[in-house]
Structure 1
Amino acid sequence: MTAAVGRPSPDLLTFGESMVSLRSAGPLSAGGALTMHVAGAESNVAVGVARLGHSVSWAGVVGADPHGEFILRQLRAEGVRLEHREDAARRTGVMFLEQRTADVTRAFYYRSGSAGSTLCPEDVEHALRAGARILHLTGITAALSPESRKAVEYAAERAAADGIMVSIDVNYRSKLWSRDEAREVLAPLVRHAGILIASDDELGLVAAAPDGAPGADTNEPAMVAEILGLGVREVVVKRGAAGATVHTSEGRWDAPAVPVTSIDTVGAGDAFTAGYLSALLDGADVAGRLQRGVLTGAFAVSTAGDWEGLPNRAELALLGTTPSGTTQR
């Protein structure tokens, strides 16, 4: 594990698998050019928060191969501190991303048995030694392997015990596990979270389904009340083009999506999360956090790439205040 000694605690610590994403602008079966990018929900959030001026650490495992070197170089260039391990016996995961139509993007994973899936509690223990103001976790990491699941469980429990704010994004991936498998692992984690982030169809993975109907996500108030009753301070619900909602014990806040021309929706949820957590670190109130979240989400969908179009702090005013189609001169 590579880490510097004696550095101050980062504002945000996150960990998970980052992969090389090979993107195609058309059907993969037809061939054509592929462009190489870094992909991973946790590293997307790390880059987004770092661009907004905060200190960020990312922990993970990559292969001792060019793909792993590419990931590390890209994250370092974005100012993200690395707490990583290189596994010479396994390869860095790869994902192909196909823009099948203007409205449909498909992902094809080649990550089974990857270096990133070997992330374990010892890796997390090393990264947690420096502490953090926020620990951000996702359900994706818990789905990768038994070792990674244990790492997520250990990190959530350890951070909560140490007084670190724990943020958990459900981030359900049907290609990695079933809803029943996800529910069994993720529901117990909620008791460690201060912030629970989920799409509106993911709440049933961490709360009892209404009326005993498995997987039903039709009674948001009841599920939110259950989650808040477990000690979670904020339940953040991402609604895509319909904006987002935050529930707390004091009430409900809603924000519409910022109107933009959608180009690429991949990474939009991670961008929202980065904006929300950045505003939390800045001391903004719930409404301010929600507004920054929908704003950074708008940057993501109106630019190409998982994180490449995310704003720095000075650029936050570009959307929502500038008329569409204008050129700054």
Structure 2
Amino acid sequence: MPEFQIPPPLNSKDLENLLVDMFNEIHSTSSFKSFGKNGHKQKGLDIISLEKNIVIQSKLKDLTRKAILIKRELLNDIEETVNLILKEQPKINFDVLYIATTYSEHPDFDEYCETIKEDTKLDFDIIFWGWETIQRKLIALPKTLSSHFSNFIIHPQSSKEIKILSRLDMKRKIENDFGDWLNYSFENRKRNSKMIIHSIDDTKYPEHELNQEGKYQWFGAEIRSRSHKGLEFTTAIEEIYVDKDYFWTDELQKNYEDFLKIKVARVSVIDYEDIVDYDLRGDEHYIKPHFFCKFKHNGTPFIEQYYMTLNNKDVPYYFDITTKKRYS
């Protein structure tokens, strides 16, 4: 339970409006909107984004009732929502269905969502957000927070703590969702390690477009590992020349005999807080996970890059790309 408490909305329309603004701010878009109004045939959907291929069903609950009754009702709501979508077949393409509610989190909801997906062989994911998750997201969304909770004030001394909470939240999600890659060494993985990394500002995908810094707005990279700094990707395999003091260059030298040519992987690190969202399923162009990131580091999403030697025990394992020497 977070230390801060934001009161949930009192009616269904306020909750729906809150979620629309939240998702628009999270995804840096204006494409999320209510799907019809009361009385319209909503086909199990309250909110949609045709741009992001996301739909949302919001569930406001009377929290004065017994918890066991609300929990049972929510489990039934999840099943009914899925059944209604399958029955009505809304003519909307989507990859993810969010169930968002004012009730509390519980592992049973997440497990039930996964069970329904497997049992009915759904071609979309179901993600459950209880009020704790919504609160954590809201703290990192100043525009939505000020619009819907004008009396809620984040004290300056807690801003760093909130930033850390948001970063840790993304780190935990990635560790959970990408365990099939991150929990195994590269050679022992059963799944392809290639991922697609997008700028959140890119509007031309699948076409390639250069940003103002002359860098591509999306590209492929192989997920390698995680560290305290962020998520690490192999973005290139290169050759460098290393001298006896372990300084390196990527240019062939005249006194070549004094240099050892080695093969290295360029490892590029994305800070967890620069990862806005990801899609495990991919799309019709690349059926593999897609990351959507802030490209705010010289036109790239990378806070750091270094070389890692491949199959060479005669030189240090890591080389600093900036200083052109080994890591001490």
On whether the aligned pair clears a TM of 0.5, the verdict is: no
Quick check: which has more Rg, 1 or 2?
A: 2
- So what's the TM-score if we normalise by structure 2? 0.31
Query: When the two structures are superposed, what TM-score results if normalisation uses the length of structure 1?
Result: 0.31
Q: Larger RCO: Structure 1 or Structure 2 (Cα < 8 Å, ≥ 6 residues apart)?
A: 1
Which structure has greater helix proportion?
Answer: 1
